[in-house]
Structure 1
Amino acid sequence: MTPVPAKERDRTISMAAEEEIMSILKERLKEITNKTPLEKQENVSRELDNFYRLYGKWRGGISDELIWDKIRPLPESMLQGYSSLKKVDEDDTEGISKLLDKLVVLKLNGERDFDKYHEGLGTGMGLGSACPKSLIRVREESTFLDITISQIENLNESYGVSVPLVLMNSLNTDSETGHALKKYKGSNVEVLTYLQSYYPRIDRETLLPFVKDYNDDGNDGWYPPGHGDLYESLYNSGVLDKLIEMGKEIIFISNIDNLGATVDLNILSHIVKSGCQSQFIAEVTNKTRADVKGGTLIDYNGCVKLLEYAQVPKEHVDDFKCVKKFKIFNTNNLWINLKSIRERVVQGTLERDVIVNHKALGDGRNVIQLETAVGAAIKNFSGAFAINVPRSRFLPVKHTSDLLLVMSNLYSLEEGVIAMSPDRMFPSTPLIKLGPDFKRIQDFLKRFQTIPDLLELDHLTVTGDVHFGRDVSLRGTVIIIANHGERIDIPSNSLLENKIVSGNLRILDH
């Protein structure tokens, strides 16, 4: 076949050429399946069938391209304030137990986020793509996985229930996560894991996969297609059916790096008391200037729809970033009815917008990845709406600047729940900007003998070769700049309040 131009969804390609591409693709996917070991063939065939449908949607131009003028902020009928929810009676342990008996918690434990505009946790902190998010130590020697299991252990013990934990892993995180789970063998939490799908990358010149079998070309030829794959891979793994057989009705989904995404009994009660008629509920929170690229929920032709930054036309990017127009953003905390998921997967009616991610591989090849977002499925569920939750339910750790906050005395950790210290005078968190010398987590940890006191900090900017001694206190606005070739050592027991520090300040051992 003669290579075709690599323009995204090139309209100059004739219908005959499109049909030829699809025909060749179908044959190539069959070849890949046939070369797969027998024990994996069924799952690989299902995954590649899903890829074929996603590819056909993209090539056919059925990508739900938005007409900007039709976009509206969510009306009150689709957006409910958290304060309006009826609070659960904390003394009604029997009632709470009945609620929790219907619940399963799922954490997204891949190696990176789907959106090319947001670095994944591992890459954002210099850990590489194969680092499981769940195994990073973030607080008092506890990892994300430790904190998550501690939360659920406490629920199960307090209310005599068995809320299970499900981890959606990728090929790169599954093995290490499996080893880490051995330490919880005696826990009262049943942990189920499954692998998300892997799709073949598309060569931008030929518009076809360049891999020839499932193990071909290492991992360069394959990619996880974003967390929107959760539904099909949960079903294909058999875990979805197992959860329903266990009597579970509602799944709470969140990113494992969001320390604020704990089980909320008020939201759970609201869903159950509605008879689970609200099949899909998304948690949103108010946008700040730090969230301008965060996906938002909109009203589009009378339906709730997720709008991601990657889908916004260039001429409307500034409009999208406007906090006054788009006041909320998606936290990726989702509550969904399990049987509704199975019904839509089986019927093939679970539509999500295609996100086209252009990448350059290390060998210089330009490729296309077709991806989807888990929240984009909201448009497929009847009665779907959003709840505007407190900011405390969105506490992600994507970069070392986030890590500095959660490791500090701004937060406490009790029974797996991270909470802001009552000694903090303001409910907002400080704005922290750390330079490239702090990006890698290994370098970050070496630069702090102990984490500074941040209780009264408003803003911190640190660039260059800067090191902090023990028991340093930072208050107000602090800016520390070490120019190239310089080094600044902040002495132990120092108090910096509304200070700018620059130049050389070196403390030597003697």
Structure 2
Amino acid sequence: MAAVAVDEKISKLRSAVAGLDQISEKEKSGFINLVSRYLSGEAQQIEWSKIQTPTDEVVLPYDSLEPYPEDLEETKKLLDKLVVLKLNGGLGTTMGCTGPKSVIEVRNGFTFLDLIVIQIESLNKKYGCNVPLLLMNSFNTHEDTLKIVEKYSNSNIEIHTFNQSQYPRLVVEDFMPLPCKGHTGKDGWYPPGHGDVFPSLMNSGKLDALLSRGKEYVFIANSDNLGAVVDLKILNHLINHQNEYCMEVTPKTLADVKGGTLISYEGRVQLLEIAQVPDAHVNEFKSIEKFKIFNTNNLWVNLKAIKRLVEDDALKMEIIPNPKEVDGVKVLQLETAAGAAIRFFDNAIGINVPRSRFLPVKATSDLLLVQSDLYTLVDGFVIRNKARTNPANPSIELGPEFKKVGNFLSRFKSIPSIVELDSLKVSGDVWFGSGIVLKGNLSITAKPGITLEIPDGAVLGNKVINGPEGI
């Protein structure tokens, strides 16, 4: 786009945004900045031939980390430098829930948030330290979260909430903000992705408050990743080696082919996302031979470094355009990802962690895994059952009848035993009794118009079931 046309668009946008009194001046300038970068087309293409596989010095094997001090007092010192931040801006809508996703019940009546709080409580209690919990909400989850955290007011853990930015959706046709066209409700706005965590931490005043208390590192993770727990070995390594940024990666399986990966590029470590890959190389990107690891979105970042880079306006992460439609109007939301910030930090590394640190619950099929006997719950930590010999989890595909949490729960009298299960595919109107054991590879299909009930106590293994007679 010609520079003159871009300047014209930006100046029109600037005057339109000036009139939006729902957001702060900092949000307005952050938004204008993002749109200007997008329109000027600064997104540089990755030169495929320059991509190198990171060495073990850049992406460290987890087993190569030195052990952390066993001394309680030393461990307390380490933990007193830490803050845990959970990304809590998502709603549970894809799983048929209203309100923040973090309040979906995961196991034994506990929600994601309950488990996070219990984990940090037990750390604080064991070591006499003070690790605070920060929740970054979006305008979608803010009010609900404030009510929910009241129930933890008697715990030994400080909980702070702050909001990520709120940006207006852009009308594709003329690049004007949707709220200026009468869409004054929530659907006129969007939270601009978790890359916004760095400026929002600063703008909320939380960053300076934490620094003034001697905090040095923040551990950032998605609130729905049950494997993202505080790891003393990682924290100890970062403090000893002065790494400003660390991304946890884990070996890629065929289920993770779309996840971003770490590469070495022009002498720095960088995140490569599928959206940046030239079409000719997409299959190569998805192969698990060349790109063996992917980003878990468990990130450890130095707080002083965040402050320096936000003040210098240096965090120019790749922009992710996300097209949507609101009441028939085509709109665009421009977002950024926190993992993409890795290339701006000094002495940044990846750590190749065990798969157990990546246990996200994105759908009811994941919920089935974590509610089953594949895991047990200890002090808020979801621990894998040692009786499972296969290191990989079973692959589970549930039909649309199971998509919403309410429907999923009503279709299982109790969650089946799946310790010896390899794969399960369920489609149609299927109901499960209690005390069922599933093994090997199973496919269960109820034909249209037929209800299929799996009786209490059934033991099913390695079969294809297409009707009651197959059970």
TM range (shorter): over 0.9
- What's the offset of the Cα at 1:505? 6.7
1:50-129 equivalent positions in 2, closer than 5 A: 50-90=30-70, 92-111=71-90, 122-127=92-97
2:414 pairs, out of 436, 450, 453, with: 450
Do structure 1's residue 426 and structure 2's residue 390 form an aligned pair? yes
1:204 pairs, out of 172, 176, 180, with: 172
Specify the code of the residue in structure 2 equivalent to 1:357.
N
Structure 2 equivalent of residue 22 of structure 1: 10
Do structure 1's residue 369 and structure 2's residue 333 form an aligned pair? yes
1:411 pairs, out of 375, 378, 381, with: 375
Cα displacement string for residues 252-299 of structure 1 (whole angstroms, at most 9, x for unaligned residues)? 01001000000000001111222xx21001100000000001111111
- What's the offset of the Cα at 1:216? 4.8
Cα pair 1:487 1:505 within 8 Å, conserved: no
Q: Distance in 2 between matches of 1:311 and 1:439?
A: 31
Q: Distance in 2 between matches of 1:199 and 1:310?
A: 22
Cα pair 1:196 1:229 within 8 Å, conserved: yes
Structure 2 equivalent of residue 292 of structure 1: 257
Cα pair 2:13 2:175 within 8 Å, conserved: no
- What's the offset of the Cα at 1:89? 4.1
Question: Residue 425 of structure 2 aligns to a residue in which SS?
Answer: strand
Do structure 1's residue 233 and structure 2's residue 233 form an aligned pair? no
Q: Distance in 1 between matches of 2:459 and 2:152?
A: 42
Specify the code of the residue in structure 2 equivalent to 1:258.
N
Cα pair 1:284 1:330 within 8 Å, conserved: yes
Question: Residue 383 of structure 2 aligns to a residue in which SS?
Answer: strand
Q: Which moved more, 1:315-324 or 1:472-481?
A: 315-324
Structure 2 equivalent of residue 115 of structure 1: none
Structure 2 equivalent of residue 185 of structure 1: 153
Structure 2 equivalent of residue 493 of structure 1: 457
Structure 2 equivalent of residue 472 of structure 1: 436
Cα displacement string for residues 430-463 of structure 1 (whole angstroms, at most 9, x for unaligned residues)? 1111111111111101100000011111111111
- What's the offset of the Cα at 1:103? 0.4
Cα pair 2:247 2:295 within 8 Å, conserved: yes
Q: Which moved more, 1:343-352 or 1:60-69?
A: 60-69
Specify the code of the residue in structure 2 equivalent to 1:253.
I
Q: Please, which runs of 5 or more residues in structure 2 have no aligned partner?
A: none
Question: Residue 72 of structure 1 aligns to a residue in which SS?
Answer: coil
How many residues are treated as equivalent by the alignment?
471
- What's the offset of the Cα at 1:186? 0.7
Question: Residue 260 of structure 1 aligns to a residue in which SS?
Answer: coil
Do structure 1's residue 387 and structure 2's residue 344 form an aligned pair? no
- What's the offset of the Cα at 1:497? 1.3
- What's the offset of the Cα at 1:311? 2.6
Q: TM-score, normalised by structure 2?
A: 0.97
Question: Residue 32 of structure 2 aligns to a residue in which SS?
Answer: helix
Question: Residue 182 of structure 1 aligns to a residue in which SS?
Answer: helix
Cα displacement string for residues 23-47 of structure 1 (whole angstroms, at most 9, x for unaligned residues)? 1111112122xx44xxxx6xx1101
Question: Residue 90 of structure 2 aligns to a residue in which SS?
Answer: coil
Q: Which moved more, 1:22-31 or 1:376-385?
A: 22-31
Structure 2 equivalent of residue 253 of structure 1: 220
Q: Against the structure 1 CA distance between its residues 229 and 292, is the aligned structure 2 distance closer, same or farther, given a 3 Å change threshold?
A: same
Do structure 1's residue 352 and structure 2's residue 320 form an aligned pair? no
- What's the offset of the Cα at 1:205? 0.9
- What's the offset of the Cα at 1:110? 1.1
Cα pair 2:59 2:351 within 8 Å, conserved: yes
Question: Residue 73 of structure 1 aligns to a residue in which SS?
Answer: coil
Q: Distance in 2 between matches of 1:339 and 1:83?
A: 28
Question: Residue 161 of structure 1 aligns to a residue in which SS?
Answer: coil
Question: Residue 224 of structure 2 aligns to a residue in which SS?
Answer: coil
1:214-225 equivalent positions in 2, closer than 5 A: 216-225=183-192
Specify the code of the residue in structure 1 equivalent to 2:96.
G
Identity across the alignment (%): 50
- What's the offset of the Cα at 1:210? 2.6
Q: Distance in 1 between matches of 2:438 and 2:76?
A: 44
Cα pair 1:311 1:355 within 8 Å, conserved: no
Specify the code of the residue in structure 2 equivalent to 1:105.
V
Do structure 1's residue 171 and structure 2's residue 139 form an aligned pair? yes
Structure 2 equivalent of residue 279 of structure 1: 244
1:315-326 equivalent positions in 2, closer than 5 A: 315-326=280-291
Q: Against the structure 1 CA distance between its residues 506 and 177, is the aligned structure 2 distance closer, same or farther, given a 3 Å change threshold?
A: farther
Specify the code of the residue in structure 2 equivalent to 1:48.
K
2:111 pairs, out of 134, 137, 143, with: 143
Question: Residue 24 of structure 1 aligns to a residue in which SS?
Answer: helix
Cα displacement string for residues 294-352 of structure 1 (whole angstroms, at most 9, x for unaligned residues)? 11111121211112223333332212111111110000001111011011111211221
Question: Residue 460 of structure 1 aligns to a residue in which SS?
Answer: strand
Cα pair 2:249 2:353 within 8 Å, conserved: yes
Over the residues paired in the alignment, what is the CA RMSD in angstroms?
A: 1.6
Cα pair 1:487 1:506 within 8 Å, conserved: no
Q: Distance in 2 between matches of 1:73 and 1:218?
A: 46
1:264 pairs, out of 207, 212, 231, with: 231
Q: Distance in 2 between matches of 1:132 and 1:15?
A: 42
Question: Residue 474 of structure 1 aligns to a residue in which SS?
Answer: strand
Do structure 1's residue 439 and structure 2's residue 403 form an aligned pair? yes
- What's the offset of the Cα at 1:245? 1.3
